[in-house]
Structure 1
Amino acid sequence: MVYFSTFFVSLFITLVLIPILTKLALRKHIVDEPGPRKVHTLPMPKLGGLAIATGTLFPIIIWTDFVAEIKGLVSGLVIIVVLGLLDDFYELRYREKFIGQFVATFVAIFLSRIYVTQLGSLGELNLILPLWIALPLTVVFIVGATNAINLADGLDGLAAGISLLSFGCIAYLAYISGEMPIFISSLAIIGAILGFLRFNTYPATIFMGDTGSQFLGFSAGWLSLALTQKETNPLSHVLPVIILGFPILDTLAVMLERFSQGRPIFIADKNHFHHKLLRIGFSHKEAVIIIYFLQCLLITFALIFRYYPEGFLFGGYLLFCLIVLCFFYIAERTHWVLRRSVNMDKDLAFATLSSSTKDKINKGVFKIISFIIPILLLFLSLIPRQIPKDMGIISLLLLTIILVVYTTKREVWLRFFIRLNLYIAGIFLIYLVNKEKIIWFQINMYYLQIIIFSLLMVLIAICVKFSEPEYFQMTPLDYLIIFMIFIILLISHLPRKQIAMDNLSIFLAETMVFFWGVELILSHKFGKWNALSVSTLIVLFITGIRGLF
C-alpha cells in the first residue's frame, strides 16, 4: 500500500498545486515571455516545477528510508529547487546555473559517497576507476543530465514525457533489483510528472520552468547512477546513458553544431531536434510524439538488454545516435519538407455519411458512454473484497471537499474537483479489481471488466471520430501512455524472477480508457447535477464507508 500511497499523494499534491501556482505566476508575472527561439506566442506561467518538486519530495520524505543515496538525492534536490526558483524569478546567467548545479552535485556525493567507479568490463578487463577520476566523472554526468533535460524542455510536454519514460525504466529496474528506496522515489516522481502533464500536454497552460527541468534532470541522473553503481547489482553500468539517451544526444549534437559554426555553445538557438522536426513540417504535437517514440526505443533497449555487457549496450546506443543524426543531416542537406494529403478521408466509408447522420451517431454513442461511465464506477466500487482504511479516509475527505465546492457558484472549481476525484477513484478501484480477480455468481469479474472496457473503448473511438475537434482530441500524453503499454506488454513476456507484470499493461490500458471517457463527458456541457457528478459522490461515500468499516 505504501507504493500506491506514494504515487497517489504525489499525483494529488501536483494536481492541486498547479492551478494555484498558475494564478500566482500570472499575478506576479512569473512567466516565460515569447521570443525568437520559442514556440509559444503568449506569456506562459512557469511555476509548474515547484508543484513537481513539492509533489515529489513530500512522499519521499514520509515513506522512503533515508539510506545514503536518498540523503544525497533530497539534499541535492533542495539546492536545485532553490537554484531553479532563482532562475525562474531573475533569469540567472549560465555560469551562475553551473555553480549551483556543481554545489548540488558535490553535496549529494559528499552525503552518499556514490561515484562512477565502475564502467563494466571490456573483454576480460574489469574497468574500475580511481577516486580522482571517478569524482569528476560523476559530477560531469550529473550536471550533464541536469542540463540535458533542461535543454529538452522546448515543446509542450516534451521534457516531462521523456522524463516519465526514464523514471518508469528506473522504477522497474529498481524493483527487480530490490532497491526499494530508489523504487519509491521514482514512483513519487512519476506521480508528480503525470499530474503536471495534465496541464502541460499540448496545448499547455503552464510550463515547468528551470525549477522543474533541472529537478527532473538531476533526479534521473542521480537515481540511475545510484542504481547501477552498486557492486551487488548485476545491471549494466552503461544503462544511465541509455536511460537518458535522447536528451544526451540532443544536447551533444546541438553543442557540437554550435562549436563547429564558431558560436558560443551555451547560447540558445533553434537547432534542437524538436526545432528541426518543426522545420521539416511536422506539427507541434507530431514532433513531441516522434521524440517520445524514439525515447521509447531506447528505454525498451535498456530494459531488454539490462544485463548485457557494456560494450554491446554502448554500441547499440551509438548505432541509434548514428541513425538519428544521419536522418536530420540528410533532411537538412536535401531541404526535405513533409507534404500532406488534404483529403485523407475521402475514400473511407464514414466520409460519405451526411452531417445529420454523423450528428445522430455521435449523440447516441455519447449518451451510451455517459450512462456506462457512472455505472462502471459504481460497479468497480462494489467488487473489491476490502477497501484499505487509508483509501476510506481519503475518500471521505474528498467527499467533504466536493460537497463544500457544490455550495459555491464556481463551476470551474466544481469541474476541477469532479475530474480530480474521478481520476483518483478510477485509478485506485481499477488497480484493486485487477489485483484481486474476484468471482461473483461463478463469473470472473476480471474478464467481465475487460469486456466492458473493450466495449467502452470502441464507443469512445466512434464518438471521437464523429465529434467536433474542440470536444476531444488525442494528446501526446495519450500516445505516450500507449507507448508505455506496449513496452510493458513486451517486457512482461521476458524471463523474470522478481516481478509479475502481466496485469500492469491491462491496468494502464483500462485506466486510459476510463480517463478518455471522463474527459469526453466533461468536454461537453457540464451542470452541477448529472449522472457523472452524482455517481462520483456515491462512489466516494461507498469507498469511504467500506474502508472504515
Structure 2
Amino acid sequence: MQLFVLFLTTLFLAMVLVAALIKLSAPLGLVDIPDARKVHASAIPRVGGIGMVIATIVALLLEFELDERFRVCLLGAVILSVFGLLDDRYDLNYKTKFLGQFVAVLVVVVFGDVVIRRLCFFDSGPLPDVVAYPLTVLFLLGTTNAMNLADGLDGLAAGLSILSLACIAFLADLADGQQTIATAVAILGAILGFLRYNTHPAIVFMGDTGSQFLGFSAGVLAVLLTQKVNTALSGSLPLLIVGLPIIDTLQVMSQRIFKGVSPFKPDRNHFHHKLLALGFDHYEAVLATYAVQATCILLAYFLRYESDLLVLVVYLTLFGAVAAFVPLARAFHWRLRRAHQGEASFLTQKLNLILEKAWLDKTAYQTTRLTVPMFLVGTAASMDEENLDQIAVFAAGILLAWLVWLAARLPGAGFIERMAVYSSVILVVYLAQTVGFEYSEADRWFNYVIVFLAVIVAVGVRFSGRYFSLTPSDFLVMFVLLAAANLPVFNQVNYAKIAVQSAILLYGVEYVLRRGGGTVWAVRCGGILALLSLACRVVI
C-alpha cells in the first residue's frame, strides 16, 4: 500500500508540476527550438524533466524512509539535474556537461558505495578498487549519456526508462529490496505523469534535465540491484536492463569516430532516425524501438541467474543484430513504405496488403464485438458457486439500479448502463482470480481468451482511425502489466492479473462502444447478462 501511495503521489505531482512549468517555459527561456537534426517543427517547452525530478525527490523524502546510500544517490541526481537545467537553458558545451555528469557519478560511487565489484569473469573474488571504481564510473557515465542521446522522439526516452525501471523493481522484489523498489516506483510514477504531455504529438519535452536523470537513475539502480540488493543476479545484467540506449550510443559514437568527427557531435544517425529513414512513421519508429528494448528486458529476466559470460554473449548478439539491421535493409533496398506503392518489392507489397487498414479494422471490430459478450456470459455462468453470496448481491444491486433508472426514464440511463457493463467486466475478472471455476479446464481457456483479446483489441485500436486511437505508451503500459501479471512473484497475489485482464477487457468494451451503430447491443447485453447470471445466485 505504501508503494501504491508513493506511485500515485509522484504521478500527481509530476502532472501538476509539468503543467505549471509549461506556462513558465517561455519566460525562463526553457524552449526547444527546432533545427536540422531535430524531428519537431515548432518550438516546444523542455521543462518536463524538472517536474519529474522534483516529483520523485519530494515524494521519496516525504513518504519513504531512505538509508544513507539512497540519500547520497538523490544528491547525485540533484547535482546532475542542476547541470542538466543549465544545459537546457544555456546549451552548455559538452565539456561542461560532462563535468556535471562526472561529479554526480563520483558522488554516488565514492560516498554511496555504488560500485561494480562482482563479475563472474574472474575467479579471484571481488574486483580490486583500481578496476572497480573506473569501471563503475564509465558505466554510469555511459548510461547517463545513452538515455540522453536516445531522447529523440516523443515518448521514446520515457518509454525506454519505464521498461528498465519496471525490470529493476521486479528483480529487486525477488530479494525484498524495498528501497530499490520504492525509488524505481517513484520514478515510474513521475514518468507516467510526464507522458501525459509527451505522447505524440508532444506539447513538452523532458530536456537534458529529464533524460540524464532517467539514464543516471537506471544505471545506479541497476548496479545497486546486482551488487547490493540481489547478489545472486548476474553482475553483467545491467547491460540488458539498460538495453538499447547503450547499444545505440556505442554504435553512433563508433561511427562518428570512424568518420573523424567528435563522438559528442550531434547528428541523425541514431536508431530511431534510421527507422524514420526506412519509411517508419513517428508512431511506428517509437513502437519498434520499444519492442527492441522489451526484448532486452525479457532476456534480462530469463537470464537473471545465468553466468556473466552468457549474458555478455547474448547482449553482443543483440548488439550485432541491431547494428546489422539498417545496413542490410539498405543493401536489399527495403523500406517499410514508399511514396509510390508500385516501387515496393513484391514481398513488401504483399505485406502491406495483409496490413491493409480497413480489412484489419473491420475484422478486429467484428471479432471483439462477438467475443467479449460471449466471454463475459460464459465466464460468469461457469463460476464456482461457493462464496459468491456477497458478489451476487452486489451484481443484483447494480442491475436493480439500472432497471429503476431506465423505468423512471431518468437522465443519464446510458451512462448507468455503461457503468453496469464495466462493473460486469471487473466482477468477472475478480471472480476468475479469487473464486475460480467449476471446471478444471476453464481457467486455462479463460487465460487463452484474454491473450487472444489483447492481440485483437490492440490491432483493432491501432487501425480504427477516428474511432479510437492508442499511443505507443498504451502498448508499453500494457506490456509491462502483462509481464508483471505473469511473473512468479505474483503467484500468491493476483491483483496484478486482475488489473491487467480488466484493462484488456475494458479496452475491448470501449473499442466497440465508441464505434457506435446498431451492433453494440451485443456487448451491452453481454455485460447485463453476465450480471444477471451472477445475481441469480442470490435466488439459487
Report the more deviating stretch, 514-523 or 209-218. Answer: 514-523
Q: How far 1:91 moved relative to its partner?
A: 1.1
Assess if the C-alpha contact under 8 Å between 1:64 and 1:185 holds in 2: no
- Counterpart in 2 of 1:214? 212
- Counterpart in 1 of 2:478? 482
SS at match of 2:111: helix
Give the counterpart of 1:144 among 138, 142, 145: 142
Amino acid at match of 2:193: G
- Residues 453-499 of structure 1 deviation map (CA, whole Å, 9 limit, x = unaligned): 999989978995896x345322111222333345345544xxx6x86
The answer to whether structure 1 residue 504 and structure 2 residue 502 are counterparts is no
- Counterpart in 1 of 2:234? 236
Q: Distance in 2 between matches of 1:435 and 1:65?
A: 37
The answer to whether structure 1 residue 293 and structure 2 residue 285 are counterparts is no
Q: Distance in 1 between matches of 2:57 and 2:283?
A: 30
User: In the comparison of the two structures, how many residue pairs are matched?
Assistant: 459
- Residues 400-455 of structure 1 deviation map (CA, whole Å, 9 limit, x = unaligned): xxxxxxxxxxxxxxxxxxxxxx9xxx9xx99x96899479xxxxxx99x9999999
Q: Distance in 2 between matches of 1:348 and 1:128?
A: 57
SS at match of 1:112: coil
| Match runs of 1:357-368 below 5 Å | none
- Residues 490-543 of structure 1 deviation map (CA, whole Å, 9 limit, x = unaligned): 544xxx6x864655244234346647877999999xxxxxxxxxxxxxxxxxxx
Q: Distance in 2 between matches of 1:101 and 1:347?
A: 45
- Counterpart in 2 of 1:399? none
- Distance 1:68-1:36 versus aligned 2 partners, 3 A rule: same
Q: Distance in 1 between matches of 2:9 and 2:292?
A: 30
Q: How far 1:200 moved relative to its partner?
A: 1.2
- Counterpart in 2 of 1:401? none
Assess if the C-alpha contact under 8 Å between 2:154 and 2:202 holds in 1: yes
Q: Distance in 2 between matches of 1:273 and 1:349?
A: 26
- Distance 1:334-1:434 versus aligned 2 partners, 3 A rule: same
Q: How far 1:201 moved relative to its partner?
A: 1.6
- Counterpart in 1 of 2:271? 273
Q: Distance in 1 between matches of 2:78 and 2:512?
A: 39
Assess if the C-alpha contact under 8 Å between 1:177 and 1:233 holds in 2: no
- Residues 87-133 of structure 1 deviation map (CA, whole Å, 9 limit, x = unaligned): 111111111111111111112223312211111245xx245221122
| Match runs of 1:100-499 below 5 Å | 100-122=100-122, 125-126=123-124, 128-230=126-228, 233-338=231-336, 339=344, 341=349, 437=434, 469-488=465-484, 491-492=487-488
Q: Distance in 2 between matches of 1:311 and 1:343?
A: 38
- Residues 358-395 of structure 1 deviation map (CA, whole Å, 9 limit, x = unaligned): 9xx99xx9xx99xx9xxxxxxxxx97x9xxxxxxxxxx
Q: How far 1:61 moved relative to its partner?
A: 1.1
Assess if the C-alpha contact under 8 Å between 1:167 and 1:186 holds in 2: yes
The answer to whether structure 1 residue 97 and structure 2 residue 104 are counterparts is no
SS at match of 2:120: strand
Query: Normalising by structure 1, what TM-score?
Result: 0.72
Greater Rg over alpha carbons, structure:
2
Q: Distance in 2 between matches of 1:278 and 1:103?
A: 36
- Distance 1:240-1:434 versus aligned 2 partners, 3 A rule: farther
Amino acid at match of 2:255: E
Assess if the C-alpha contact under 8 Å between 2:450 and 2:504 holds in 1: no
Q: Distance in 2 between matches of 1:47 and 1:126?
A: 47
The answer to whether structure 1 residue 75 and structure 2 residue 68 are counterparts is no
Query: Normalising by structure 2, what TM-score?
Result: 0.73
Q: How far 1:268 moved relative to its partner?
A: 0.3
Q: Distance in 2 between matches of 1:465 and 1:154?
A: 23
Amino acid at match of 1:117: R
**Structure 2 spans left out of the alignment, 5+ residues:** 337-343, 377-389, 394-418, 437-442, 517-540
SS at match of 1:315: helix
State the identity %.
38
Amino acid at match of 1:183: I
Q: Distance in 1 between matches of 2:493 and 2:350?
A: 42
Cα-Cα RMSD: 4.4
Amino acid at match of 1:315: V
Assess if the C-alpha contact under 8 Å between 2:283 and 2:471 holds in 1: yes
Q: Distance in 2 between matches of 1:349 and 1:156?
A: 24
Q: Distance in 2 between matches of 1:501 and 1:34?
A: 48
- Counterpart in 1 of 2:44? 44
Q: Distance in 2 between matches of 1:245 and 1:347?
A: 29
SS at match of 1:35: coil
Assess if the C-alpha contact under 8 Å between 1:120 and 1:126 holds in 2: no
